[in-house]
Every structure is written in structure tokens, then in C-alpha cells.
Structure 1
Amino acid sequence: MTAADLDTVHALELSLFPIDAWPAQMFRDELAQTDTRRYLVAEIFTPRGPRIVGYAGLMCVLPIADVQTIAVEPAHEGRGIGSALLTALIDEATRRGADDVLLEVRRDNPRAQALYLRFGFEQIHVRPRYYRDGVDALIMRKQLSAPARSDGNGHADDGATDDTPRGGTA
């Protein structure tokens, strides 16, 4: 996503989320934080040129990444666009070294919940009345790195064997 995309993205935001739409300035502020943010658009190609039909954003402040937003125009749902955007966000979180990816999803949005479950997210909490219209948010998490295991003697087991590098460069 670039500044040139913001008018189109904001118009899509207003149509998709009339109650909870982000102000246009919020998108500008998010794009300006390149050290911790990554925003994407999904385009289709039409005879008149490319047209934005979806967008997504990620905030990554280690060790956590957070899906800030993800949206697809209803006419283009079910075509893999949401999956492609979510895959790109997870890949970015992994590239940046995040341990977990978190997100909030409306309790009354089973389609989005199903997408996140397919990608390995699990519900970890509920934020009652999180959205402006009083709907709860389900907090979901996908672990990107396995937590350290104990060997029973108080020693962390990182899964490495004697011939596995434990740090440094290969």
C-alpha cells in the first residue's frame, strides 16, 4: 500500500466497516511507521487498469505481531484474496522474527473466524463490547515459534540436537 492507494482504501473501508471505519488519517499514520508496520493491497486487473479489492496491515513490535486490519470487497470474497493477504502478513511477521501473531475478530463474523482457524489461529480471549456497536471481539493467536520445553530437570529444551547449530551464522 502506498499513499496513492489511500483514497481508494479508505472508500473501501467506509463501505465495509461503516460503524468501525478507520479515519483516513489513521491509514496515513500507519503507513508512516515503516519500521513496525506493513500494509498491502490486493488488486484485480480490469480493462481500465488495476483496481484495489482488498487490503491488510500488520504491526510488528517484537516478540508480537498484530493483524491491524484485513478486508476484501464482498464481490471478491471466496476467491483466495483474504487467504493471500493473511499469508503475506504471516510471512512478514515470520521474516521480522515474531513469536506470535494476534488479531481481533468480531464475534458475529463467522466467515473471518473460519479463515483464521484454517490458518492455525486459536481463540485465546474475548473482549466484551469491543466494537462501537457493542459486539464482542474474539482475540486469536497463531504461534510462529514453538515455546521452549523443559526436560524435567529445569533445563530448557530448544529441540536442537548435538549436530544442530544453536545460534550464530551458518
Structure 2
Amino acid sequence: MLKRPLLSILVIAMVGPLAAENQEMEPQACAPHYERIMWLAEETFGPKSRQEVKQMELTEPDGCAVYAEFEDQGLLIFVAEHHDRKGAEISWRELLAEYQKKMRKEQSTDGGKQVSLKVDNKEFLMRAFSPGLVDKGGYIGNMKCRWVNLTVACAASFTVQGSRMEIRADSAEYWPFPKWLQYIDQLK
């Protein structure tokens, strides 16, 4: 199973608990995503960052995934490619349901955290305006997910411990590395 809590949440929400059983597969359908994310990692964070990009085979629903978490820089990306539309739809519905549930939980605990979730057909944008979805001392600032054909993908920016970044309801979306968001926006 994946070790990082935030990434584990994404994997389980998108592809079910059986997904992470075989993490080192190199499924053919994910090769273009893997190559592009490796290139973006190297361009953004240097050659050593390529080691953070991983692939895995998905078992329910069938497909493959590419993922990376750049913890020190506050960036996460996850792309799942499914064999058929039904698999992508299942992943999308589970992902959306999981984050709607998390949003309700965050709003009902600790005096009501300020979390916004905008859903528009086959994409959603989640923004946390107060510390909420904690991951090793940081929390998600913005998360954008999209479903395009057989692909379900998410990019998240999160605060890094000690960054003192403040996100408010009136602040602009925080994307420290815009090319990663563009990758999600330009999926076809």
C-alpha cells in the first residue's frame, strides 16, 4: 500500500482498495502520461525528481495509473487511465463521493472548516481556506480533478509545513507550478 496519507486517499477514492497491490507495473495505456509527468518533474524540480513518478496496474476497475507526490514542493498529481468508459465513470463517482464526504466532515468538525467544492459536469475544484485535509503538517490548498474519456486525473497544491501560506475565501487559487494544472486542463 502507498505510504503517504494524501496519496493513499486519492488511490483508494479513485480506483478502490485493490489498486495498489502491484505498483511497479508498466501498463502500456499509461505510457504517454508516465513520460509526460516524468518530463514535467524533471523540468520543474530537476533530474532526481523523476524517481518520485510511479506507475501501477489497477484491478477494479481495470486500467493503470501514474502518480507522484512532491512533498517538499507542495504538489501531487494522479492520473488513472481505464480500459473502458464504465471504469472511468466508476472512478469518477467514487472520487467525487469521497471528497464530498471529506468536505462535509471537515465542515462539521472543529467549529466548521472553510472548504469549498465546485462541481461542474466532469470536473471539480476543491479549495480549503483553513487547515483541513492534513498531510504531514500541511493541508490541501487547491485540488482540481477532471474526467475526460477514459482518464480521471487530479492535481493538488498543498501547503508545506512552515510555509505560513494563508488561503482565504477571497484569495486566488494557489498553483505554485501552473504547468501541472495545465496538464490536467489539457487532457483530451
What's the TM-score once normalised by structure 2's chain length?
0.32
Structure number with larger C-alpha Rg: 1
Which of the two has greater helix per residue? Answer: 2
Q: Which has the higher contact order (CA 8 A, sep 6+)?
A: 2
